[in-house]
A and B are shown apart, each in its own frame.
Chain A
Amino acid sequence: MDVIANQLFAGLSMASILLMIALGLAIIYGAMGVINLAHGEFVMLGAYVTWALQTHVGIGILPALPIVFIAVALVGLIVEKAVVQKLYHRPLDTILATWGIGIILQQLVRLGIGAESRFVKGPEILSGNTEIGPLIMSNYRIFVIFFSIAVLFVTWRLMTRTEFGMKLRAVIQNRDISECYGIESKRIFSITFAYGAGLAGIAGALITPLFSTIPTMGTGLVVDAFLVVIVGGLGSLVGSAVAAALIGEATALFSIVINDTLGRIAVLAGIILLIRFRPRGLFPTETRR
């Protein structure tokens, strides 16, 4: 029983990391229909910016977060302006273009910083565990869980309660008519892409103390993040959150019942069935696309 409780927490922790990575992807995909295969590399960039700030400037992870967000968002903005913007009328081609961009970013980091694994120290105040009865929870993981919920909330507010969000939703609904009303859809898309990239950067910064920081770290993450986005329903923030929680918990529980490998296979099978029977995701958005 103790194991199950701890495992539920582990699942939640996995879910929060998945959600942080998937959120940026969900926004970019939901808003623009762009399947961003360079997303994993944005996560990687975030990790490396954190590493650089800590090693060369001496700024810890938590104060570095805003800088990481801005830095990776800027890279996202450049990528959007230089490449993605030119491909909005052929979304499938963005798969290939962003894949190429992913390779470029990965190789630039490898050539510039080196292939070896980098060390980033976790924040001192968040070290240690909190124990509630049999439940032993790492403080850092608790922090990541709450942080991801906060980011989810902020993003949701941004989409629904601000002028920018309104414009974005208008563009998603009908780009041409929105432009007739004077909304600069190009600008809206650029900002959205940059925001999504920035979120990926933050995700990268948050996972560095737990995982290893290498140029290829993003490749594996992007597949799982995609599954979350699709299961959640295209562009639905709440859907992504629920999907991340489901996948995280299912992975954690299966892996304790069977083992990590077979557990993952079982989760993938579950995802396939879910998409088959709910092809528009858990929370389909009612938009005319």
Chain B
Amino acid sequence: MSSKFQFELVALVIFAVVIAFGVPAVMNYDGFELNTFARYLALAIVSMALALSWGVTGLLNLGQAATFGMGSYAMAMHLKLRASSGLPDFMSWNNVSELPLFWVPFNSLAFTLLAGLLIPAFIGGLIGIFMFRARIAGVFVAIITLAFLVAFQLLVINQQGLTGGQNGLTGLAQMTLFGWAFDPYSMGFYYLVAGCVTVALAIGVYLTHSKFGLVLRAIREDADRTRFFGYNVANYKTLVFCISAALAGWAGMLYTLVLEFASPTYMGVSFSLAIVIWCAVGGRESVIAAAFGAIVVNMLEGRLSDIFVEGWHLILGVIFVLVVMFMPRGIFGLLVEGAQKLRTVGRARPGHAVEPLSTTPLETNQER
């Protein structure tokens, strides 16, 4: 067990304890504040999903919002069907007379939960196979996923009769599981989201530190060399895309539950870029740091927009520039360096037992 793994495990436990006990206490068990925080937690999962593909494997996926949106819409479709007797209202507005075939299975909650994970994973896998078989890497991954995202969002908005168009899906029912209705402003619901985040993070930590994660990092550092060692780089990349997409879909489902609607805004370029920012601010090399980044940035946005109604965006921009310039590895990097310094001082044996920081720039992953 490497020291980094230990470090992340400790961080995971602290994180879980804080969101399970600390946050509700600080928030005074207040439904509104907890719901707002649950929103940040859902976004933490998608940020962490990006860390898996970007930070760990070096694949900058700018289409993350599309898979997030798929999960979000899957859940919203189920809740919309539950809320409406017969045809959903927006369909009759658009002169759709019969429930479209692909809507029908979403009557079942079990199917919806599976679909919210598997459809994004499947699409992510398809895009992965499409790109990585041709050894597409570097900035081209970013551009292809970006183009896919833009096209997908346009399609969803265009098919107003099937998707609700620009307005998204609103007027949803509450989810009921085993007879228990999830009121998004209840403690129970908060713990559902908190539990999901903890499980997702545990999966992420396990993956990054398993042999699978080691191969992924090897691919990030030098894809060719990894290939010469006999690993099928394309398959590994595709797999990590699938996992990342499934996690994003999961986050999307939770997001719909928190907000009680689904909107094409969350399939947009700016949302995708926002995920990249959260990931970078937290630290893209660690899934926990990325999740933490999402929470910190969103909290900061909420807080700043309260205090400086006019100028909060400006302040946010300045903070991002400063973070990039002076904290290149995000909050995580700062913490790791701090911890290492402490340990070095504590042991008074410089240069011993300290795992060196990875100094290889993340950008050198261009396949040749």
Q: Measuring CB to CB, which residues of chain A are less than 8 angstroms from any residue of chain B? A: 35, 37, 83, 86-87, 89-93, 95-97, 99-104, 106-108, 111, 219, 223, 226-227, 230, 261-262, 264-265, 268-269, 271-272, 275-277, 279, 289
Q: Is the CB of B316 within 8 A of A103?
A: yes
A35 cross-chain contacts in B, Cβ below 8 A: 139
Known A-B contacts A35-B139, A90-B361, A96-B277; the reply to A276 vs B131 at CB < 8 A is yes
B136: chain A residues at CB < 8 Å are 275-276, 279
* B46 adjacent to chain A (CB < 8 Å): no
B353 within 8 A of A: no
* Chain A contact surface mostly: helix
In chain B, residues 100-134, which have Cβ atoms closer than 8 Å to a Cβ of chain A?
A: 130-131, 134
Question: What's the minimum C-beta distance from A21 to chain B, rounded to whole angstroms?
Answer: 16
Bound-complex Cα distance A100 to B147 (A): 22
Q: Is B273 an interface residue (CB 8 A)?
A: yes
Could you tell me the distance between the alpha carbons of A223 and B62 in the complex, rounded to whole angstroms? 12
Q: Are B147 and A227 in contact (CB under 8 A)?
A: yes
Could you say which residues of chain A place their CB within 8 Å of the CB of B150?
223, 268
Q: Is the CB of A104 within 8 A of B314?
A: yes
B321 engages A95 (CB within 8 Å)? no
Report if B212 contacts A (CB, 8 A). no
Residues of B within 8 A of A97 (CB): 320-321, 324-325
Residues of B within 8 A of A (CB): 60, 130-131, 134-136, 139-140, 143-144, 146-148, 150-151, 154-155, 157-158, 269-270, 273, 276-277, 280, 310-311, 313-314, 316-321, 323-325, 328, 361-363, 366
**Residue from A92, A103, A104, A108 within 8 A of B363 (CB atoms):** A92
Q: Is the CB of A265 within 8 A of B321?
A: no
Tell me the nearest residue of chain A to B273, going by C-beta.
A99
Q: Are B147 and A103 within 8 A (Cβ)?
A: no
Contact A93 B328 (CB under 8 A): yes
Are B317 and A100 neighbours in the complex by a CB distance under 8 Å? yes
8 Å CB contact of A86 from B130, B143, B325: B325
Given contacts A96-B324, A97-B324, contact A275 B154 (CB under 8 A): no
Which of chain B's residues have a CB closer than 8 A to the CB of A87? 324-325
CB–CB A264/B147 < 8 A: no
Task: Give min CB distance, B359 to chain A, whole Å.
Answer: 11
In angstroms, Cα B306 to Cα A82, docked, is 30
A101 touches which of B317, B319, B363 (Cβ 8 Å): B317
In the bound complex, residues from chain A placing their C-beta under 8 Å from that of B146 are 223, 226
Question: Could you jot down 18 A-B contacts, CB within 8 Å?
Answer: A35-B139, A87-B325, A90-B328, A90-B363, A91-B363, A93-B324, A97-B324, A101-B321, A102-B317, A111-B310, A223-B146, A226-B146, A261-B158, A265-B154, A265-B158, A268-B148, A275-B140, A276-B134
Residues of A within 8 A of B276 (CB): 95-96
Nearest B residue to A234, CB-CB: B139
Residues in A whose Cβ lies below 8 Å from that of B318: 100, 104
| B interface majority secondary structure | helix
For the complex, what is the distance from the CA of A271 to the CA of B269, rounded to whole Å? 17
Task: Knowing A90-B363, A272-B148, say if A104 contacts B134 (CB, 8 Å).
Answer: no
Q: Which residues of B contact A103 (CB under 8 A)?
A: 313-314, 316-317, 320
CA A275 to CA B136, docked complex, whole Å: 9
Given contacts A262-B158, A268-B154, 9 further A-B contacts (CB under 8 A): A92-B363, A100-B319, A103-B314, A103-B320, A107-B313, A223-B269, A230-B139, A271-B147, A275-B144
Residues of A within 8 A of B270 (CB): 219
Q: How far is the CA of A104 from the CA of B139 in the complex (A)?
A: 25
A100 to B321, CA, bound (A): 5
In the assembled complex, the Cα of A83 lies from the Cα of B321 at a distance in Å of: 8
Q: Which 8 A-B pairs have the closest CB atoms?
A: A103-B317, A100-B320, A107-B314, A104-B317, A100-B321, A268-B151, A97-B324, A96-B324
Closest B residue to A261 by beta carbon equals B158
| Interchain CB contact under 8 A, B314 and A230 | no
B311→A83 contact, CB < 8 A: no
Known A-B contacts A107-B311, A268-B151; the reply to A275 vs B143 at CB < 8 A is yes
- With a CB–CB cut-off of 8 A, which chain B residues contact A268? 147-148, 150-151, 154
How far is B220's CA from A92's CA once the two chains are assembled, in angstroms?
14
Instruction: Say how far B271's CB is from chain A's closest CB, in angstroms.
Output: 13
Q: Which residue of A lies closest to B320 (CB)?
A: A100
Q: How far is the CB of A105 from chain B (nearest CB, A)?
A: 8
B270 to chain A, nearest CB (A): 7
In the bound assembly, the distance between CA atoms of A155 and B274 in angstroms comes to 34
Q: For A271, what are the chain B residues with a Cβ–Cβ distance below 8 Å?
A: 147
In the complex, chain B residues whose CB is within 8 Å of the CB of A262: 158
A227 and B143 within 8 A (CB): yes
User: Contacts of A219 on B, CB cut-off 8 Å?
Assistant: 270
Report the minimum CB–CB distance from A140 to chain B (whole Å): 28
Chain A residues, CB < 8 A from B319: 100
Residue in B143, B147, B311 whose Cβ sees the most chain A Cβ within 10 Å: B147
Q: Which residues of A contact B143 (CB under 8 A)?
A: 226-227, 230, 275
Q: Tell me the bound Cα distance from A227 to B142 in angstroms.
A: 11
Q: In the complex, how many angstroms separate the beta carbon of A221 from the nearest chain B beta carbon? A: 12
CA distance A261 to B324 in the complex (A): 36
Closest to B146 in A: A223
